[in-house]
């Protein structure tokens, strides 16, 4: 695999899927090209879904996609609403171009239920339509894996198999830090609201005084200052700052000092520094306040629920019968033996892999030095599914 150039393995395209609530989401497709060496899984479609505050670069910062393409897998990477190419700006551009209405939740007003009820169904339907397959493979990292658990519990007839990477089934179980943060979250949010309220008041008074002064000096006081609100978590800005800091420190002992202080979700020994900096700079996204609050609510209640419909993800685990692989790092505080055990015990899949990856935490599972091992786990699951499917994978659906 090391002797093959990444660009020689695929033809890259993108397409747009429309959600039932008005969002246009971009899916980036890496379509495998025939090679001289064997590609045992050529043409098998797989949907990849990123996690919290991420975008497509969660899969492409390392060689995860390359490993899948080496086997011939047809890779489709979804970016959830407001992330990457599925940006707020894209919605405005398409609304202006086609004369359509903007989504009602455009101003950072969506939650995890929006991903589950609208984004995922649109993406699954889009991949099935583009590839002319009734059933596809699904792979989700972190939050993307949790969405996959929920979807498989309702619509597993759309999946040939499901792989989750670093995806807890009981968020926060076994992690005191996460539980503390979940209970402290509402108080922290209130403090942020109060601080921004005070700043807005101060700016408003300043603008009023400027208007009074302008009547005397006959100078324009300027526009009314924009009201500041806590609508989203600006993780993209924080990660870019961290990337810059690593760049300055990379050639000095300071790099190791910084790395040793940021090890909660990463094991730096398992990744190259260039890949880390690229992911920090390009792979981070803002995440709405409602998404953060829903995660906190899940942790406090030890539940994973779609609150708009009342659907309980955990009750749906027992309905999962398709081949499934649950992969996580043995040093991951988010997805651990404790927090993934329930889905492993409840699922009814004949092919069911539940495996920690030694020496890994959370982030490096999709970009670290052990992804080849993880991708072989994926290969094994797909090969099992292929030998147990009723029809040939090379044939289109009957009604096509």
- Average pLDDT value for residue range 357-361: 92
Evaluate whether residue 395 is within a structural domain: no
Question: Could you tell me which residue, 48 or 279, shows the higher pLDDT?
Answer: 48
Is there a domain that residue 256 lies in?
yes
Establish if 292 belongs to a structural domain: no
Tell me what the pLDDT averaged over the chain comes to. Answer: 89
User: Is 302 inside a domain boundary?
Assistant: no
Same domain, 27 and 131: yes
> For 53-57, 131-135, 255-259, 283-287, which range has the lowest pLDDT when averaged over its residues?
255-259
Judged against a pLDDT cut of 90, whether residue 113 lies above it is answered with yes
pLDDT for the residue 280: 82
Asked whether residue 269 falls in the same domain as residue 349, the answer is: no
CB-CB neighbours of 146 under 10 Å: 29
Q: How many CB atoms lie within 10 A of CB 186?
A: 13
The pLDDT assigned to 88 comes to: 97
Same structural domain for residues 19 and 167?
yes
CATH number at residue 132: 3.40.50.1820
78, pLDDT greater than 70: yes
Q: pLDDT higher for 258 or 289?
A: 289
User: Is residue 262 domain-shared with residue 185, that is, in the same domain?
Assistant: yes
41 with 75, same domain? Answer: yes
Identify whether residues 315 and 261 lie together within a single domain: no
Same domain, yes or no, for 67 and 106? yes
Question: Looking at the domain assignment, is residue 399 inside a domain?
Answer: no
For the stretch 288-324, pLDDT in tens is 999 999 999 999 999 999 999 999 999 999 999 999 9
Round to whole Å and give the CA distance between 188 and 293.
11
366-389 pLDDT, tens digit each:
998 899 999 999 999 999 999 987
- Same domain, residue pair 152 and 12: yes
Tens of pLDDT, residue by residue over 191-216, are 888 888 888 788 778 767 777 777 67
**pLDDT tens track for 146-160:** 999 999 999 999 999
pLDDT at 95 over 80: yes
What pLDDT score does 6 carry?
Answer: 94
Same domain, 144 and 160: yes
Query: Global pTM?
Result: 0.90
Calculate mean pLDDT across residues 98-114.
96
- Which stretches does DSSP call E strand in the chain? 10-18, 24-32, 45-49, 74-78, 136-141, 159-165, 232-233, 287-288, 305-306, 311-312, 324-329, 352-357
> Which domain covers residue 379, as residue numbers?
6-172+308-387
* Shared domain check, 372 and 320: yes
- 317 and 264: one domain? no
Whether 339 maps to a domain, the answer reads yes
Domain end, chosen from 266, 282, 298, is at: 282
Report, as an integer, the average pLDDT of 351-365: 94
Give the chain's radius of gyration (CA, Å). 23
- Residue 294 within any structural domain of the chain: no
Rama region for 158: left / alpha / beta (φ>0; ψ in -120 to 50; rest)? alpha
Count of domains observed in the chain: 2
Q: Which two tokens stand for residue 136?
A: 């596809």
Residue by residue, DSSP assigns 109-128 as: ---HHHIIIIIHHHHHHHHH
Contacts of 397 (CB under 8 A, 6+ apart): 132, 133, 134
Residue 396 has pLDDT above 60, yes or no: no
For the stretch 3-18, pLDDT in tens is: 999 999 999 999 999 9
Are 58 and 92 in the same domain?
yes
């Amino acid at each position: 695999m090391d002797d093959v150039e990444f660009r020689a393995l695929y033809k890259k395209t993108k397409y747009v899927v429309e959600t039932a609530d008005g969002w246009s989401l971009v899916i980036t497709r890496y379509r495998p090209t025939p090679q001289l060496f064997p590609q045992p899984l050529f043409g098998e479609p797989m949907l990849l879904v990123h996690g919290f505050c991420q975008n497509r670069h969660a899969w492409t910062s390392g060689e995860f996609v390359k490993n899948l393409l080496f086997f011939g897998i047809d890779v489709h990477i979804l970016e959830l609403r407001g992330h990457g190419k599925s940006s707020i700006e894209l919605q405005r551009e398409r609304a202006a171009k086609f004369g359509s209405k903007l989504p009602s939740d455009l101003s950072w007003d969506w939650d995890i239920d929006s991903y589950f009820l609208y984004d995922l169904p649109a993406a699954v339907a889009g991949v099935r339509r583009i590839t002319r397959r009734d059933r596809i493979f699904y792979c989700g990292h972190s939050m993307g894996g949790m969405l996959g658990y929920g979807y498989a519990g309702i619509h597993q007839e759309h999946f040939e198999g499901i792989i989750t990477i670093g995806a807890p089934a009981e968020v926060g179980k076994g992690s005191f830090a996460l539980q503390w943060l979940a209970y402290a979250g509402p108080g922290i949010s209130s403090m942020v609201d109060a601080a921004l309220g005070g700043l807005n008041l101060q700016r408003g008074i300043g603008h009023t005084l400027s208007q009074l002064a302008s009547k005397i000096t006959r100078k324009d006081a300027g526009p009314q200052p924009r009201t500041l609100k806590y609508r989203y978590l600006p993780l993209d800005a924080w990660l870019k700052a961290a990337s810059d800091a690593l760049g300055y420190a990379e050639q000095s002992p300071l790099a190791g000092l910084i790395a040793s202080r940021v090890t909660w979700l990463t094991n730096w020994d398992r990744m190259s520094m260039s890949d880390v900096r690229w992911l920090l700079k390009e792979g981070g996204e803002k995440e709405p306040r409602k998404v953060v609050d829903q995660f906190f609510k899940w942790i406090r209640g030890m539940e994973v629920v779609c609150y708009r419909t009342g659907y309980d993800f955990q009750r749906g685990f027992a309905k999962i019968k398709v081949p499934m692989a649950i992969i996580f790092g043995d040093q991951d505080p988010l997805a651990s033996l404790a927090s993934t055990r329930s889905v492993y015990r409840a699922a009814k899949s004949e092919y069911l892999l539940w495996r920690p990856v030694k020496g890994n935490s959370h982030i490096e599972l999709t970009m670290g030095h052990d992804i080849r091992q993880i991708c072989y786990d994926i290969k094994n699951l797909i090969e099992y599914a292929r030998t147990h499917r009723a029809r040939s994978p090379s044939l289109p659906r009957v009604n096509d």
